Amino acid sequence: MSNLIKTIDTTDCLEGIESVCDIEGGRISGEIFYDQKIYEQELEKVFARCWLFVGHESQIKKTGDYITTTMGEDEVIVIRQKSGGVKVLLNACPHRGNKVCFSESGSTRGFICNYHGWSFNVEGNLIGQHESGIYEDSNFDKSKWGLKEVAKVDSYKGLIFATFDPDSPTLEEYLGPMTWYLDSLFDNQEGGTEFVGGCIRSTYECNWKIAAENFVGDILHAGWTHDSAARAMLGGSVAKVSDFDESYSVNWNGHGYEFALDTVGNVAVLGDSQLNKYLHTIKPSVAERLGEFRSNMIGSVSSCTIFPNFSFLAGQNTVRIWQPRGPNKIELFTWVVVNKSAPQDIKDRWRKGAMMTFSPTGVFEMDDGENWEYCTKTAKGKVTAKQDLFIGLGMDTYLEDTDLPANVYKGQLNEANSRAFYQRWQDLLQAKSWAEVPNRNKGKAEVEK
């Protein structure tokens, strides 16, 4: 237990957050995308507190398999233990702080710091140093100087999350009833999912919230922003979302999922009929497993963000983290998720299709980047940053009378999820501890297991 990360003292909350983020009034200010002081607060009160996605179980199958990632701007190693569990360790040597693992993934007996030869095993314990006799002469206690371990690690259906905050709610409480919706992608077949090999990393000059919010509930942009990609891939425009009979925006604790029930609207843009066919083939078994409703979501027009920065698209099967790198920069990590039980050919088609559409060379993503960068960059102007930005669509769409879990809003062309996302962000920034974070959920918390 001595290797647990020392918790950081919470600094005072910034004054005036209400004025840049007025959710009931349906407005925010561009300042929240460019201000360094706000960003420093986010690293501490959002990223050092929330459960953050750190990897998929399938990426680290055997003892010693590891991936490196970041939690906020903190570098961590996610490594499979002999016990079968997973540890998340700070990627920093406790001697002078040097990075101990310089590769993005691999399999190892442990990590040896390049600086003074401090050597750590897969559990992060310090097991020796170069010139070990010198340390013994100084009565050095090795057991106290292992790699620091994050407060909590847990996983849900293959998705591994970690938090630096020992006082955070459990992962189950944190995700709440959103898991019911997550299952439509991550547990629609026996055996669950796996990530395709590799991780594509790219750099945007945008604020992390712009990207996260785009996936939390902004299907509205798709019909306009992505017209060119849809015409290229489908030979016509994207599905007119306002034509759908039934669609929803659901959220909980700042997470949001917006979706239609058209089964294949998202997968269709990959332009590969074999993938549509696969989803239609598995649909009856999904209905048996998860019920009719969620079998309509497996590749439907939809998007999701788990607060703060983990997003995915069912159908395109792109999974991503928007890693914060300053107020106006992110590093984007993307992966492709597939059903473990799918035929290899189908997995390969998804790998190619996801990259063809949502990657730095993806025809859809191509038109997102510039929008996000300039939503951020315009806020460089002090006057511009103080202007109101409208975020008020669908103010009166909350559904009281529904059996669906979480906070449910009618229609996916709706800014309800975006508002819930920024509300949660504001709540965290204004809270000195988890106990002070208000519970704003009003929908059904329980889900059938």
Partner 1 sequence: MEKVYLCKATDLEANQVKKIENNTFGDIAVYNLGGQFYATADLCTHATASLAEGDIEDDMIVCPVHWGMFHIPSGEAQGFPCETDLQTYPVEVVGDEVFAVIEVDENIIAKA
Partner 2 sequence: MNSKDQQLTPVSMEMHYKVTGFLNMEYRLLDEERFSEWLTLMADDIHYWMPGIENRRRENLLSEGFYDPNHMAFFDDNITDLSRRVARFAQPSAWAENPATRNVHTLSNVEVFEGESESELLVYSVFQSVRSRGQDEEYVIFGRRRDLLVKSGDSFKIRKRLILMPNATLSCKNINTFL
**Residue 333 Cβ, how far from partner 2 at the closest point, in Å?**
9
Question: Does residue 396 carry a catalytic annotation?
Answer: no
Binding positions for partner 2, rule: CB under 8 A: 102-108, 196-205, 224-225, 227-229, 231-233, 271, 331, 334-336, 348, 351-352, 355-356, 359-361, 363, 365-367, 369-371, 373
Task: Work out which of 133, 235, 396, 400 binds partner 1, going by CB under 8 A.
Answer: 133
Q: Quote the DSSP letter at residue 236.
A: S
Closer Cβ to partner 1, 121 or 426, answer by number: 121
CB-CB neighbours of 153 under 10 Å = 18
Closer Cβ to partner 2, 297 or 356, answer by number: 356
144 close to 220: Cβ distance less than 8 angstroms: no
Interacting residues of 40 by C-beta distance below 8 A, sequence separation 6+: none
Q: Which of residues 88-117 bind partner 1 (CB under 8 A)?
A: 109-110, 112, 117
Q: Which two tokens stand for residue 209?
A: 């919230």
Question: Exposed (0-12), middle (13-18) or buried (19+): which is 242, by Cβ within 10 Å?
Answer: exposed
**Residue 130 Cβ, how far from partner 1 at the closest point, in Å?**
6
Which of the choices partner 1, partner 2, none does residue 117 contact, using the CB cut-off of 5 to 8 A by kind? Answer: partner 1
Choose among 413, 190, 144, 387: nearest CA to 301.
Answer: 413
**Residue 119 Cβ, how far from partner 1 at the closest point, in Å?**
5
Closer Cβ to partner 2, 304 or 336, answer by number: 336
Question: Does residue 226 carry a catalytic annotation?
Answer: yes
Per the residue annotation, which of 22, 65, 74, 116 is the catalytic one?
Answer: 116
Q: Quote the DSSP letter at residue 13.
A: P
Closer Cβ to partner 1, 15 or 131, answer by number: 131
**Residue 317 Cβ, how far from partner 2 at the closest point, in Å?**
12
Distance set, CA 76 to CA 85, 94, 207 (Å): 16, 13, 22
Question: Does residue 218 carry a catalytic annotation?
Answer: yes
Q: Report how far residue 269's alpha carbon sits from residue 176's, in angstroms, rounded to the nearest whole number.
A: 31
Residue 364 backbone class (left: φ over 0; alpha: ψ -120 to 50; beta: rest):
alpha
Binding residues for partner 1, rule: CB under 8 A, are 109-110, 112, 117, 119, 121, 127-133, 136
Q: Which residues are catalytic?
A: 116, 218, 221, 226, 368
